Structure 1
Amino acid sequence: MKKISPNDSLDEAIALLEIKRDQELMQLKEQLHEVHESLKPINIIKDTFKAVTASPDLKNGIGKTAIGVASGLLVKNILFRNSYNPLKVIASIVLQTVASSFAAKNSDKIKSTGQKLFHALLSKFKHNKNGDHESKMQA
């Protein structure tokens, strides 16, 4: 049997530690690359968009807010287009806020009504298109 000297066991331990260091260095480089990629602005935007579209609560909140803001701006632009009268400006801000809050609270009703109108217009458009096509074929 061969005798194992302390130097041999020390050399073996050093070799194992060097292998472990090389593996950890590779893992660290991979993690650094992943962090670098995730911090690129386009990837941050993509990840944020994915998170927003994946969360139903957040989607509904954004939808309600968008409906509220859009309706408030619509009311303000229809009623008080380019008014410089201070009373009209204040009234437009108040009405915009009221319309935004009302629309945000009733966004589900507004959304369903909008979908019904869209489907009605779409079916009417398809019906008219088919009617025109049939009348041309008969002529």
Structure 2
Amino acid sequence: MKSKDTSLEQLDHKIAALKKLEKQQLLELRQSAQNVIHHLSPVNLLKDTVQKVTASPDLRLSVMDTALGIGAGILGKRLFVGRSSNLLKKTGGLALEFLLSNFVRKQIPLLRRKRLNGMDTD
């Protein structure tokens, strides 16, 4: 009978240990899920992306070139189209915006290289 009591006690101890382990694992799972949710929130994704862009000089220059190109395209379209409601003029404005954006975006690195080469020869 004593053998049966000790085996039941051992079984109870093992069950208690497993329940404790289950609670601990559940707590760790919840914490890791909260970390994943925190890191995948749109604000944190945007913040991480901005930090990476500002840390990389090549990427930063590329983003600036693109932004300047888009700005030049929008400005050119505004100047060309104005407040016109003419469909043909608006379509031409879109084409001008696209062409001007690409032209400026491609010319900025060339101008930057020319400026750096000019500084090297001085």
TM-score of the pair, normalised by structure 2: 0.63
- CA gap of 1:97–1:33, structure 2 versus 1, over 3 A, is closer
- The answer for the alignment partner of 1:64 in structure 2 is 65
Matched, 1:8 2:9: yes
Change (3 A) 1:28 1:107: same
Partner of 1:120: none
Give, in angstroms, the shift of residue 24 of structure 1. 0.7
Structure 1 residues 41 and 98, CA, compared in 2 at 3 Å: closer, same or farther? Answer: closer
**Given residue 107 of structure 1, which amino acid in structure 2 is its aligned partner?**
I
What residue in structure 2 maps to residue 22 of structure 1? 23
Name the counterpart of 1:95. Answer: 96
Aligned residues: 112
Q: 1:42 to 1:81 in 2, by over 3 A?
A: same
- CA shift for structure 1 position 68: 1.8
SS in 2 for 1:107: helix
**What pairs up with 1:103-118 in 2 under 5 angstroms?**
103-110=104-111, 112=112
Structure 1 pair 55–11 and aligned structure 2 pair: CA distance change class (3 A) = farther
Partner of residue 130, structure 1: none
Paired amino acid for 1:7: L
1:44-102, Cα deviation, whole Å (9 max, x unpaired): 43234334445666545433321221111222233443334444333322222211111
State the 1:103 CA deviation.
Answer: 1.5
TM-score, normalisation: structure 1: 0.57
| Secondary structure of 1:97 counterpart | helix
Percent of pairs with identical residues: 33
Aligned-pair Cα RMSD in Å:
3.4
